[in-house]
Structure 1
Amino acid sequence: MPSLALRLRLGRPDDARAIGILLRRVARRWVLPDQPPDVGAALLARFSARVIRERLLEGHRFHLAYLGDVLVGVSAMRDESHLVNFFVGTRYQGRGIARRLWQRTMLDAVRRAGTRRFTLNSSRCAVPVYLRLGFAKAGPEGRSPKGVVSTPMVLELDAAPKASRKRA
């Protein structure tokens, strides 16, 4: 059976249900074990189709990754600089989908807003993934105002693209 090509596209309000299913499924497996129960429940509520649809209508950009007709990854950016959701389905991890999805999301923000600095709050298990994508820890693990246990991370892009730098 031939492997399917990864297809990336922007999310639309009618994608909210599928996005929510993927986010909740991955969060239950990888994020919730490190969260207090009340925080985990609130986190799952933010992944409802209704909330996601509202965010899409407010202008949050959700990038979706598909293999065939299967939604395998989701990223969501707020204010063209803060990655608020970044999930790849468990069975699809380790295939380079996260890297391709992040590159698409990052380049979209760079193109649209000239973004050079990206931030996120990482779950404990995702810190190694973000480090491989070029992020650095911006502080120690702690709790957000909503009580979510996370590590702040940052990615600063070079001031000038490598291709245009002058050689010394």
Structure 2
Amino acid sequence: MSREFEIRPAVADDASAISALILSLQPYLTIEPDGSGAEEFLASLSPDIIRRNLQDENYCYRLAFDGEALAGVVAVRSNSHLFSLYVGSPWHGQGVGRRLWELARDGALARGNPGNFTVNSSTFAEAMYRHLGFTATGPLAEMHGIRFIPMRLDL
């Protein structure tokens, strides 16, 4: 990574910033560019839902900051499912996603994960996940206005 990013655990007060970052990436995530058909998925990205997740011990979130700007977010659910890995467009290709993934992976391993992870990758992020070692476990799927590839990593 060419820059230093501050990475820290997320707290409930970060919910609005996390929501805004992920929603800024909506055209990469939904089948229709305007998000039509993906209302249920987009609603799951509201600050209230994210705040609830942040307060649930089943989720572990970390954030990357470039100065005051939120550059990326990672969340692992149930210590094995990569629930969220989003990097804001200005920081794509700068290693933020890899760094967040490595911290999330190492944290899950330290909490007892035996080395097995799953993710539902957007088609946009598939190449990155393959680069990180994930492999597809099924065909391209469509649900709630999004397309995704179920993937798995066994260390």
Shift of 1:63: 1.0
Superposition deviation, residue 43 in structure 1: 1.4
- Provide TM-score, normalisation by structure 2: 0.91
Match for 1:41 among 39, 42, 61? 39
1:29, CA displacement in angstroms? 2.7
Distance, in Å, in 2 between the alignment partners of 1:19 and 1:118 is 22
**Which residue identity does 2:16 align to in structure 1?**
R
Task: State the one-letter code of the partner of 2:112.
Answer: A
Aligned mates of 2:32, 2:101 — CA distance in 1: 24
Instruction: After TM superposition, give the deviation of residue 130 of structure 1 in Å.
Output: 0.4
SS of the equivalent of 1:110 reads helix
Matched, 1:50 2:84: no
Q: Deviation of residue 55 (structure 1)?
A: 0.6
1:164 counterpart residue number: none
Give the drift of 1:33.
3.8
Q: Which runs of 5+ in 2 are unaligned?
A: none
Consecutive unaligned residues of structure 1, counting only runs of 5 or more, are 158-168
- The number of residues matched between the two structures is 152
Within the candidate set 8, 30, 33, 1:32 is matched to 30
Tell me, yes or no, if the aligned pair for 2:54 and 2:61 is still in contact at 8 Å: yes
Q: Which residue of 2 aligns with 1:81?
A: 80
Give the Cα–Cα distance (whole angstroms) in 1 for the partners of residues 113 and 141 of structure 2: 30
Determine what percentage of the aligned residue pairs are the same residue: 34
More RCO (CA 8 Å, sep 6+)? 2
Higher helix share: 1
Q: Which SS does the other structure have where 1:37 is aligned? A: coil
Kept in 1, the 8 Å contact 2:31–2:146? The answer is no
* Cα contact 1:76–1:86 (8 A) shared by 2: yes
Alpha-carbon distance in 2 for matches of 1:99, 1:34: 27
Query: What CA RMSD, in Å, does the superposition of the two structures yield over aligned residues?
Result: 1.7
Q: Which has the larger radius of gyration?
A: 1
After superposition, residues 1-150 of structure 1 pair within 5 angstroms as 4-26=3-25, 28-33=26-31, 37-38=36-37, 40-59=38-57, 60-144=59-143, 146=144, 148-150=146-148
